[in-house]
Chain A
Amino acid sequence: MLIFEHSQSGRINSAQRTAALQPLQEIPKAMLRKQRAQLPEISELQGVRHYTQLSQKNFSIDTHFYPLGSCTMKYNPRGANTLSMQSGFLNRHPAADAELGQGVMTSLYDLQEILCEVTGMEATSLTPAAGAQGEFAGVAMIRAYHDAQGDTARSEILVPDAAHGTNPASAVMCGYKVKEIPTNSDGDVDLETLRQVVGPQTAGIMLTNPSTLGVFEREIEEIAALLHQAGGLLYYDGANLNAILGKTRPGDMGFDVIHINVHKTFSTPHGGGGPGAGPVVANKRLAPYLPIPMVGVKEHEGTSHYHWLTEAERPESIGRLSAWSGNVGVLLRAYIYAKMLGTTGMERVADYSVLNANYLMKQLQKKGFTLAIPERRATHEFIVTLKSEAKELGVSAMDFAKRLLDYGHHAPTTYFPLLVPECLLIEPTETEDKATLDAFVEAMVAIRQESKENPEQVKEAPLTLPVRRLDDVRAARELDLNWYNQ
């Protein structure tokens, strides 16, 4: 039932009235709304019950194992939420004098420093609102750097074919052409091709390390040398930072700029599709171009005073990405999480996310599932290909994914990366215990067995959820995006 179907004309939720309706005396009649907006007319209980019941139709980390590869669905500490939602933080206007926000500004400044340390970089801007905006910022900074050198012939950004779709899309938003680089069968970037395509037209390369194939890019030092010799720069997509946190740093690998998905590595909530935050961290060469605002500090009479750095202090910046200063509430949660881990805890995050992935990979392999890259160690994630199951049993990766839902597990990422057929990209994260991983293996084995005995049950899955498989073609053909237009 939709919220609109609970609505009754004339019902008013009077507990939420703020002021009696008053005439807008000075507003010209032509400027007043002619037709009233149509919003639900419900009681508070109807609303609370409706949205509570809706929430119960979701899988989430708090309710289910959620091994969605490349998304790092780890536990989101409740403490980080509670502490970020204190009134002192929530009620601060973004344009308020910095002296009225020293608590939040101190925390943001500390987070900038932590992120520099973790990545081996020089300076941080916290302002990008999500990973894709961080990518845009990083590539725009590369462009600003080349432009400042008067080097305007560089028109291409190199992107491996295994990259996230946001990488090429972000490069295009920065006015670049995208050149795809193939991946070899071991999962590394094909160096031969790279050597051939790097040249004076190369602005830079966008890489994720570990790659989206779930393996560490072993030739990274050589790739960095190749790019730098040709005058190009290296951009690190931080989507997979969880696997190397506290182990090795993008700055040490030769990257010039990186964005961090704090909603992945620093455990801020995914919120049903955001908000995230995508802080961007740069080395000395690219630091001047970081987006504004950033948090600066001044010492005055023995006390530190934190303030915003804007155009005046950062004249070479690529500019603003949001009306204010990015997703501050998300950044506070990331800061609290980082402080709870400490650097020792961060290294353990990498240790146990990699342990869990390798364990799960091994157990699935022992049960006869095919790995995309069997001879390599997994990082924090790995890929199973169901190509032979699809061929022999007629069930696809999508069928497995849907049936997993019936077994109480959220599905792994399906059909990504695009170059592995019938694939599941599986990322268990470090916050899952062994028993959960074992249950997942059992479910996979059971589904394969069902595929032999009763394939229709798998092909028609899920069978136990609020809805069965949805007609996506109908959704696109008979567009119904607005209840009031029906």
Chain B
Amino acid sequence: MPFIPHTEAETRSMLDAIGVDQIATLFEEIPTSLCANAPQQPEQGLSEMEISQLMRSRANADDGVTCFAGGGAYQHHIPAAVWELTTRGEFYSAYTPYQAEASQGTLQLLYEYQSMMSSLMGMDLSNASLYDGASALAEAVLMAVRANRKSKSKRILIPKTVHPNYRKVVHTLVRHQGIELVELEYDAKNGTINPDSLKISDEDPGYAALVIPLPSYFGTLEDVHTLTDWAHSHGMLVIGSVNPIAMASLTPPGEWGKEGADIACGEGQPLGIPLASGGPYFGFLCCRKALVRQLPGRLIGRTRDLDDKEGFTLTLQAREQHIRRSKATSNICTNQGLMVTAATIFMSLMGTTGLEQMASGSYSNSHKLVERLSTIDGVALAFSSPYFHEAVITLSTPVAELLQILATQKIVGGIDLSNDYPELGNALLVCATELRSDDEIEQFATALEQILC
């Protein structure tokens, strides 16, 4: 009986104490009509040795791949200490810190996280995490509609340069609350928001918020300062959806335009979380102080105990579902605590300098990669504007087949854009983080040459 400690004698004495002769009696309140469908062929469980053999062979089958894909999930260096510490049982097997006195470890760590993330984003404050970058954007949109009391509009401007899956997730999560997402086109030459689409007529009922990605899904840099000022002058709030590693070097949401963005959100995965087929990651959400009561998710505050000693506790819980029920700011409960534990330790060990090195190393490797690939006949850079650590290239052949051939050589060649952006033709989003060596870049380029020739 895996993980059940009872000996037969103990079970017997417990049944005696209850006053029943067998365990089955404890289930007597379940109508017998509902118990007919027990599995016909009971399957025995596997021992740890047996499941290890199975899972090792499966993991080995997936191993040894070189990754040139980004698009919201990035393979960066992760210090060994990060997951050694994160998987300590005291972090790993604790739960939401409802009993603050017995959870000061998790609570202080989350307070440190909130502080670091606020600083990285240049914002006043941060919550303690959401599920991922996509759902964080959805929560930011809901929050903006609640917070923008001056605008009666429940419409949100969301450019096509935002990750296509993020746009889909936002649609799924906000559509039943009467919120309309209005897409902004991008400029075919620059791969950034088309300035022509920023015209609002007098009859237009307006918008509650504008979403600005940085970098964009294409790796390009939106003109965040002009866009922020434009949105504010039209009564909108500004939501930045940003990459946290890039924010070590690029202008963070709090510094955008004259007043800064109102809300910053994004995918926390680059901060020490492995790729792991897409999850678990974590979403971050920061805002300016005035909006704190509209912020969803857990918040940790520093306070004092009976002896006036410093301590940490969940705060402003009146926003949350376990208190407000149907009137809560969100239905979120369990979120991504352990991922934030990893990210906090990651940011501490890397420091600002480490993050800046990682950002510039990724910038430099991606530029090396794109320059090398551009020397191949049939490969061209799709947009002329500057890009950060990934870029769109166009190819002379269909991308899907090419990626399949590269896969047989254990290379993930990038992300195929032809379904989400058919107008770009055979377009591929490629990325090389600081982890990719010159040899790996050359190997990818050689493979591509052979396929295209």
Asked, given contacts A359-B17, A405-B102, whether A470 binds B75 with beta carbons under 8 Å apart, the answer is no
A387 to chain B, nearest CB (A): 21
Asked, given contacts A60-B93, A88-B59, A482-B114, whether A244 binds B30 with beta carbons under 8 Å apart, the answer is yes
Asked, given contacts A55-B88, A91-B275, A107-B58, whether A16 binds B79 with beta carbons under 8 Å apart, the answer is yes
Are A272 and B17 in contact, with the CB atoms below 8 A? no
> Of A33, A97, A164, A433, which contacts B6 at CB under 8 A?
A433
B363 within 8 Å of A (CB atoms): yes
Are B407 and A95 in contact, with the CB atoms below 8 A? no
Q: Which residues of chain B have C-beta atoms less than 8 A from A246's C-beta?
A: 38-39
A150 within 8 Å of B (CB atoms): no
Are A248 and B34 in contact, with the CB atoms below 8 A? yes
Asked, given contacts A103-B59, A467-B101, A470-B100, whether A18 binds B334 with beta carbons under 8 Å apart, the answer is no
Are B59 and A475 in contact, with the CB atoms below 8 A? no
Flag B89-112 by CB within 8 Å of A: 1 or 0 each.
111111111111111111011111
Q: Which residues of chain A have C-beta atoms less than 8 A from B45's C-beta?
A: 339-342, 344-345
Are B134 and A377 in contact, with the CB atoms below 8 A? no
A447 to chain B, nearest CB (A): 15
| A362→B323 CA distance, assembly (Å) | 31
A275 within 8 Å of B (CB atoms): yes
Flag B329-348 by CB within 8 Å of A: 1 or 0 each.
01111111111010011011
Q: Which residues of chain B have C-beta atoms less than 8 A from A355's C-beta?
A: 6, 11, 14-15, 18, 23, 26
Asked, given contacts A344-B45, A481-B111, whether A89 binds B119 with beta carbons under 8 Å apart, the answer is no
Are A31 and B250 in contact, with the CB atoms below 8 A? yes
B122 within 8 Å of A (CB atoms): yes
A146 within 8 Å of B (CB atoms): no
Give the number of residues in A that approach B within 8 Å (Cβ atoms): 200
> Of B2, B94, B110, B249, which contacts A270 at CB under 8 A?
B94
> Of A62, A83, A476, A478, which contacts B89 at CB under 8 A?
A62
Are A131 and B347 in contact, with the CB atoms below 8 A? no
Stretch with Cβ within 8 A of B (4 or more), from A227-235, A296-304, A313-321: A313-321
Q: Which residues of chain B have C-beta atoms less than 8 A from A148's C-beta?
A: none
| A61→B76 CA distance, assembly (Å) | 31
B218 within 8 Å of A (CB atoms): no
Are A101 and B337 in contact, with the CB atoms below 8 A? no
> Of B51, B331, B344, which contacts A340 at CB under 8 A?
B51
> Of B55, B132, B277, which contacts A83 at CB under 8 A?
B55
A184 within 8 Å of B (CB atoms): no
| A309→B92 CA distance, assembly (Å) | 32
Are B51 and A17 in contact, with the CB atoms below 8 A? no
> Of A13, A22, A215, A324, which contacts B364 at CB under 8 A?
A22
Are A273 and B96 in contact, with the CB atoms below 8 A? yes
Nearest chain B residue, comparing its CB with the CB of A30: B225
A284 within 8 Å of B (CB atoms): no
Q: Which residues of chain A have C-beta atoms less than 8 A from B197's C-beta?
A: none
Q: Which residues of chain A have C-beta atoms less than 8 A from B345's C-beta?
A: 47, 51
Asked, given contacts A83-B55, A99-B407, A101-B277, whether A485 binds B17 with beta carbons under 8 Å apart, the answer is no
| A187→B105 CA distance, assembly (Å) | 37
| A273→B301 CA distance, assembly (Å) | 16
> Of B56, B173, B292, which contacts A479 at CB under 8 A?
B292
| A352→B10 CA distance, assembly (Å) | 11
Are A88 and B38 in contact, with the CB atoms below 8 A? no
> Of A16, A215, A377, A410, which contacts B28 at CB under 8 A?
A377
B177 within 8 Å of A (CB atoms): yes
Asked, given contacts A22-B363, A44-B81, whether A60 binds B92 with beta carbons under 8 Å apart, the answer is yes
| A346→B337 CA distance, assembly (Å) | 28
A215 to chain B, nearest CB (A): 7
A76 within 8 Å of B (CB atoms): yes
Q: Which residues of chain B have C-beta atoms less than 8 A from A38's C-beta?
A: 119, 352
Asked, given contacts A33-B251, A35-B122, A410-B99, whether A273 binds B65 with beta carbons under 8 Å apart, the answer is no
| A97→B355 CA distance, assembly (Å) | 30
What are 24 A-B contacts defined by CB distance under 8 Å?
A18-B354, A18-B357, A18-B434, A19-B358, A22-B361, A33-B248, A39-B351, A60-B92, A61-B89, A75-B3, A77-B2, A77-B3, A169-B331, A173-B176, A216-B30, A221-B33, A271-B337, A328-B276, A339-B54, A341-B2, A402-B101, A431-B3, A433-B6, A469-B306
> Of A48, A96, A103, which contacts B412 at CB under 8 A?
A96
Flag B26-46 by CB within 8 Å of A: 1 or 0 each.
111111011111110011111
How many A-B Cβ pairs are below 8 Å? 678
Are A4 and B115 in contact, with the CB atoms below 8 A? yes
Give the number of residues in B that approach A within 8 Å (Cβ atoms): 203
> Of B94, B248, B255, B326, which contacts A172 at CB under 8 A?
B326
A117 within 8 Å of B (CB atoms): yes
Q: Which residues of chain B have C-beta atoms less than 8 A from A85's C-beta?
A: 83, 87
B13 within 8 Å of A (CB atoms): yes
Asked, given contacts A68-B95, A120-B37, whether A273 binds B128 with beta carbons under 8 Å apart, the answer is yes
Q: Which residues of chain A have C-beta atoms less than 8 A from B248's C-beta?
A: 33, 37
Are A58 and B302 in contact, with the CB atoms below 8 A? no
Are A130 and B333 in contact, with the CB atoms below 8 A? yes
| A22→B362 CA distance, assembly (Å) | 10
For chain A residues 83-112, which have a beta carbon within 8 Å of chain B? 83-97, 99-104, 106-107
Are A61 and B172 in contact, with the CB atoms below 8 A? no
Q: Which residues of chain A have C-beta atoms less than 8 A from B54's C-beta?
A: 339
B36 to chain A, nearest CB (A): 7
A453 within 8 Å of B (CB atoms): no
Are A323 and B133 in contact, with the CB atoms below 8 A? yes
Stretch with Cβ within 8 A of B (4 or more), from A132-140, A192-200, A388-396: A132-140
Nearest chain A residue, comparing its CB with the CB of B411: A100
| A38→B85 CA distance, assembly (Å) | 23
Nearest chain B residue, comparing its CB with the CB of A243: B27
Flag B232-270 by CB within 8 Å of A: 1 or 0 each.
000000000000000111111001000000000001000
Are A480 and B302 in contact, with the CB atoms below 8 A? yes
Stretch with Cβ within 8 A of A (4 or more), from B151-159, B180-188, B313-321, B372-380: B313-321
Are A27 and B250 in contact, with the CB atoms below 8 A? yes
| A42→B104 CA distance, assembly (Å) | 21
| A86→B277 CA distance, assembly (Å) | 12
Q: Which residues of chain B have C-beta atoms less than 8 A from A77's C-beta?
A: 2-3, 48
| A169→B99 CA distance, assembly (Å) | 23
Are B351 and A272 in contact, with the CB atoms below 8 A? no
Residue among A92, A270, A485 having the largest count of chain B Cβ atoms under 10 Å: A92
For chain B residues 274-306, which have a beta carbon within 8 Å of chain A? 274-282, 292, 298-306
Nearest chain A residue, comparing its CB with the CB of B102: A59
For chain B residues 114-144, which have a beta carbon within 8 Å of chain A? 114-116, 118-120, 122, 124-126, 128-129, 131-135
Are A322 and B135 in contact, with the CB atoms below 8 A? yes
Flag A249-272 by CB within 8 Å of B: 1 or 0 each.
100110000000101000101111
Q: Which residues of chain A have C-beta atoms less than 8 A from B116's C-beta?
A: 39-40
> Of B48, B125, B348, which contacts A3 at CB under 8 A?
B348
Are A58 and B304 in contact, with the CB atoms below 8 A? no
